[in-house]
Structure formats: structure tokens, C-alpha cells
Structure 1
């Protein structure tokens, strides 16, 4: 007997071998998909009626700093150096484990409500992030952000923290959490430190998550220091492999793209964040043409300012069409692949497709909405018209986290209250109280 049966929906499998089903059923047992087809013959403990909806793989967000939900809208429209040095870094220094726990729970709530079932994260106090992920039921690939700035003592301390995190949390939450190593970036980490991290990741058989060529300033800094760009430096020290997830990858040359393709590096594209910070436009069409696996991500809320992957999908398509002045570049189906199949591939998880044997990480999108009427093309509507708020039901590992718009795995209001309290600890002067936290008559 199946645990859950989803029926009467349009099944967007994202599986090239089976194709989509205009009206089908998906059965899940013990956290895995056991049937995809027209009519399931067995029984199920729970039945979800997806009439008028699309059933699709949960979205995979491959680059995030989830704890930065606490910094959403804190400082916007500023020069990058001023934004970082005068606002973001000073506030981050005030964040402790409990603040990060509150911020990551808020991020998980936001992601679940908008259809993300898996995310990759790199930030501080990542043990607290792991605790939040375990509590919320979402899937995540977590990495402790490591920086040494050429300081041997800091390098030793950072690597130890990373090793301990991998040891303690890889495979945690019944396998929903995978741990990665997270050296921040080539310009904030020494060559020796990057080599040490690379060696340790191979020993521990885990993946590596790193920022690469996010800004022109990084490109210039690397050329001045090493006489070569970040991609060439990392390639020369043997850092690149198919277990590396490289975020941003904006300032690439043609040769850089060839290296990424040859080494099997996975690229995480953050179009909204990159536009907001005026970092540049990643050459995604060219990367895809060369065979690089490119996935999608939001980045952190300080530079996005939300975690809605539906918005990221739309921006991905539009940005590269206008940048290339070619309406055919990165069509809707390709964008959907980047947000599902490619993301799962980058993180090495059996998800991103509705396929027998894969994780029961699925979402149901209600198509009976004014902005989705009439419906001619499902792919087009999901990318160009749908919103994260159109997601009504979310399953991770076969467990129903949200049903008919009601989050079942956590108390929404309590999470917003605790996150607001955590934000208040960092900057009470500018925080606007919309939840009534300062109202003495409030019962909350």
C-alpha cells in the first residue's frame, strides 16, 4: 500500500524518457516514488486530489545564505563596498546561533510556501541552520562558510569547523541533510587553504560549494595577485572536479567556460541577485551550449530580496533574451530543467524528476487562477505567469509539508515572530514592528 497517492493532475515529470501526462497519478511509499502513470491499481493511506493543477518536481535552489532572511531589505540601493562594509558585515557580526536558527526557519517557511523542496546553503553558524532544516522537513545541502584571508591560524580553524560540520551533519535528518565544504571564494581564501579543502573534500567524499567570479573586482584582484583569473587559478591547483558547485560565474572568458565544461563543474546562476547588486550577467546560454550543468538559485535575501524560485525562473528567461536580443534563447522548458533536473544533478540527489525510485519531493501548482487563464502551454505558464503563491501542496521525502495552502510542518506566525525578534537584536532602531511585538496588549 502506498503512503500517498496524488491523482487527477497534469503530471510534469521532467523525465525525458517518460514524458508528461495530461492526467495521471503518482504514488509514494517510504519517501520514494513507486508509480507514475495513468491509473494506480493499489491503495493509499492518503489521497491528494490535484484536479486543475500541475504536479511537478519540487524546485531546487542551489545557492543560498538562508540566515540572511534577517537582513531582508536592511540595506538596499547602495554601492557594493558601502553595502558590505557599513551595513551587512557589521550586522552579521551580531548574529549568533539562535538568530541564525530563527532566520533559517523563516527561510524554510518561505521556500516551502513557494515550492522549493531542496536548497544549498553556505553561511555562518551552520549547525543552527542544520537544526532548523531538521525541524522544518525540507531537504538541504549545507556548508559552513570558510575564509582564511591568508592567515594560517584562521585557515586551520576554518578547516576544522568545516570538517566537524561534515562529520556531524552529513546524512543527518534521515538523509535529508547533506554536508558540503564551503570555501567562500578564490579572492578570500589562500591557494594553500583551497588545496587543503579540496583534499579534505575528496577524503570525506563530499561536494564543494564556492563563489567564483561574482564581480569584476574579483577578476581584477585575482589577475593582480596571481596573473590569472579565478577559474584558471582553481584549475591549475586541481580544485575543479564534478563535485564542485560554483555560484555566479559571471566574469568568464571563453577559455574559462571550456575549463568548467571539461572538469564537470556545476554552475549556480543567480540572475535576480546579480542584477540587484549590478554584478553583471553570467554567460548562461554559452555555458549551456558548451554542456555545463547550470542550475538556478536565489542567493541570500540581503541581495534578492526573496526566495521565490518562480521569480528566478522568469527572470532567467527574460534576462538572457534581452541580453542576447534573441527571443529563442533559453526557452521555458530549459528554464524548468535548470530549476529542477539540473539542480538535483548539481547536488547529487535523486530528485528533480517525477520518476520511480526518486525522492517524493513534489509540489502541486494550482492553475485555476486569473493570471493562469486560459491555459495553452504548461511550461510557458509555469515560467512566465506563475507565482510562488500558486503552489498549494508540497511534499518532501513523501511527507506532506503543506496542503491546500496550509503549512503543516510549522507554525507560520510563530516563525515570523521569532525571526522578527532575532532581527530586532541586530538593529532595533530601524525595524518596523508589523507583528505587534511592541504592543503590551498583544497576547503574542
Structure 2
């Protein structure tokens, strides 16, 4: 992984004193190693910020990367009607290709707006596709496979067996938690009480 120095920056440190300092930020092996006066040594990449502001990336704590392609449909509907008539049928219609496109688009929008980390609950299937795409995009993420096993109005493709849902989530955690030098994490993501049995939630 190349080392990078961003020099000539106005740094919003977000430290306890909320200091704003003029200086440089050095990154080696994907980790920030210095903030302040420019350290010596050779750097693979040198970026002159030209006095621009440099601050930590924003964190989005509630998002569904899988829903990016159908954002804006029926936003004026009550939550349950919106889920049952719009979101769940569209999630059920996802293919690996459309899911990959949705995650790529969401990642680009987030990164271009300064968001570098997300907590995302995805759809029921193809969570590996989400992780594989995040490997490419560079976004830091905690990803949960959606777990839902109890609502009869859920499209058939999204209905899960309780134990199978738990087993799949455990397998995803084993495959992906801590991947990409800790940039990607796996979480358990029961959708909500309306679509989850007591057994699943417990």
C-alpha cells in the first residue's frame, strides 16, 4: 500500500480541543501516522492541498446500499406500506448484477460527499456481493445481512427459515469480519420486530 502525505492543509483535527492547524497528514499502510508539522522521509504520493480544509471522513450510521437504485420511489408513503409495496418487492427482484451496481453507485456518492464509513443493513440474499464490491470501492463498512423470518406479506424470495438465517449470518461473519485489514466488518441485522420472530430476535 503506497504511503501518502497531504501537505499545505488546513486541518480540522476533531480532537478534544477542536484544534484547527496548518500542516500535513501522513498515511502509511492505510493508517494515519502523523498530523501537524510535515514529517521527514520519502513518500510514494505527495498531495498539495493548497490550503484547503482536511478533516476526518463523515460516518453514515443508517443506510441500505442495496436500496440506492430505487431511492425516491413512493417517499410519501407510511413506512409499512412503503416497505411492503415498494422496498421488499424491489429487494426481492435484485440480481447479483443489480446489487453490485447499487453498491457501486452508493459508494461513489458517499465518497464524493466525504463519507468514508457506513453501517449498512443489506437485503436477505447475496451479501457476499456487497462485500466483494466494497473491497473494490474502498469504503469502510459494517455490513449486516438482513434477517427476516416472520411476516407473511414479505415476498417469497425474502422469507427465511429462522435457523438458516442465523447460520448464513454466522458464515458471512466468518468469511468477512475484519477483511481488508479491518476495513470491512460483519454484523447481525434482524430487520425489525414486524418481520422477525421472537426466536430470531432472541
TM-score range, shorter chain: 0.7 to 0.9
The alpha-carbon distance between structure 1 residues 157 and 128, as it changes in their structure 2 partners (threshold 3 A), is same
| Structure 2, gaps ≥5 residues long | 153-159
- Decide which structure has the larger Cα Rg and report it: 1
Check the 8 A contact 1:21/1:37 in 2, yes or no.
no
Q: CA deviation at 1:27?
A: 0.9
Aligned-pair CA distance for 1:53 = 1.1
Q: Which residue of 2 aligns with 1:29?
A: 28
C-alpha displacement at 1:109, in angstroms? Answer: 0.9
Contact kept, 8 Å, 2:13 with 2:55, in 1: the verdict is yes
Greater mean deviation of Cα atoms: 68-77 or 100-109: 68-77
**1:150 CA drift (Å):** 8.0
- Asked if the contact 1:21/1:38 (under 8 Å) is kept, the reply is no
Aligned to 1:388: none
Tell me if the contact between 2:9 and 2:52 (Cα under 8 Å) persists in the aligned partners.
yes
1:182 counterpart residue number:
189
Q: Tell me whether 1:3 sits opposite 2:10 in the alignment.
A: no
Extract structure 1 runs of 4+ deviating beyond 6 A: none
Q: CA deviation at 1:138?
A: 1.4
Counterpart Cα distance in 2 of 1:81 and 1:121: 20
Check the 8 A contact 2:66/2:91 in 1, yes or no.
Answer: no
C-alpha displacement of 1:86: 2.3
Label 1:34 to 1:87 Cα distance change in 2 as closer, same or farther (>3 A). closer
Q: Report the Cα distance in structure 2 between the residues aligned to 1:28 and 1:87, rounded to whole angstroms.
A: 43
Give CA deviations for 1:333-375 in whole Å, capped at 9, x if unaligned.
Answer: xxxxxxxxxxxxxxxxxxxxxxxxxxxxxxxxxxxxxxxxxxx
Match of 1:101 in 2: 100
Matched, 1:47 2:46: yes
**Take 2:29 and 2:54, find their aligned partners in 1: how far apart are those partners?**
19
Aligned residue for 2:146, secondary structure, equals strand
* Aligned CA distance change for structure 1 residues 139 and 46 (closer, same or farther; 3 Å): same
Greater relative contact order (Cα 8 A, min sep 6): structure 1 or 2?
1
Q: How many residues align?
A: 192
Aligned counterpart, 2:74: 75
Aligned with 1:93: secondary structure? helix
- Deviation of the 1:96 alpha carbon: 2.1
The equivalent residue for 2:142 is 141
Residue 84 (1) aligns with residue 83 (2): yes
- Larger strand share, 1 or 2: 2
Q: 1:170 aligns with which of 155, 177, 189?
A: 177
Which one has a larger percent helix, Structure 1 or Structure 2? Answer: 1
Q: Displacement, 1:158?
A: 1.0
Q: Structure 1 residues 95 and 109 mapped into 2: Cα distance closer, same or farther (>3 Å)?
A: same
Structure 1 counterpart of 2:164? 157
Aligned to 2:128: 127
Give the drift of 1:156.
Answer: 0.9
Give the Cα separation in 2 of the matches to 1:172 and 1:23.
34
Any stretches of 5+ residues in structure 1 without a counterpart?
Answer: 196-444
Q: Do the aligned partners of 1:70 and 1:103 also contact (CA within 8 Å) in 2?
A: yes
- SS class of match (1:175): coil
